[in-house]
Amino acid sequence: MLEGNKEFIAKSLENDPDYFTKLANGQKPPILWIGCADSRVPANQITNTNPGEIFVHRNIANMVIHSDMNMLSVLDYAVNVLEVKHVIVTGHYGCGGVIAAMTNKQFGLIDNWLRHIKDVYRLHASKLDLIKDEKERQDKLVEYNVVENVYNLCKTSIVQNAWQKGQPLAVHGWVYSIETGIIKDMNVSTYDNANMGNVFKFNSPPTP
């Protein structure tokens, strides 16, 4: 990894001698990415963006939990200091956290975290239980989990206060396929208080 760092520095300076000088001058990313901690879903790489363009928070199964001070601190800094224009909750198919939450097994401390995903299943059980294929049911819960966490994000005081002030801020929900590399827009974007109640419907916010 240290050798890789040296190669990264050499290639970056070869392309732009001022590369690190520019990065050191500060950041003003337009996007906050709330994604899964899965090692196969790096935000910059799968969106073909550069360092400095996406502010990133990652946890197991891309959760937005109102008691999570880590997530709330990142969100507060992104919205109120960096003044990002977009917040994107990004899940991915084959998510280990979602799959684990669909079982009755105990995994230890993480069971307390998975409880929130189990609640998402409970909310959508009438539809999920009709899906006989296990992988298809897992994929659908991944999608529902993104949608519910977009809704949770919209209900935070941080996002609510930004909208009350008229701050331009759009919230989106995406799902990434590790098998194909394709990002699916869940069409639950919302960008002000008036549209928060329609988070399960498509709105037309600024494009990230």
Q: Which of 40, 66, 115, 122 is catalytic?
A: 40
Q: Helix crossing, 134-154 with 111-123: angle to 10°?
A: 100
Residue 124 neighbours by CB under 8 Å, 6+ apart? 140, 141, 144
Distances (CA, A) of 112 to 8, 20, 152: 39, 41, 18
Burial 73-101 (b: 16+ CB within 10 A, else e): ebbeebbeebebbbbbbbbbbbbebbbbb
- Respond yes or no: is residue 95 known to be catalytic: yes
Q: Which of 57, 58, 86, 92 is catalytic?
A: 92
Q: Which of 95, 116, 139, 172 is catalytic?
A: 95
Q: Please give the Cα distance from 3 to 45 (Å, whole number).
A: 20
- Respond yes or no: is residue 38 known to be catalytic: yes
- Residues marked active site are found at 36, 38, 40, 92, 95
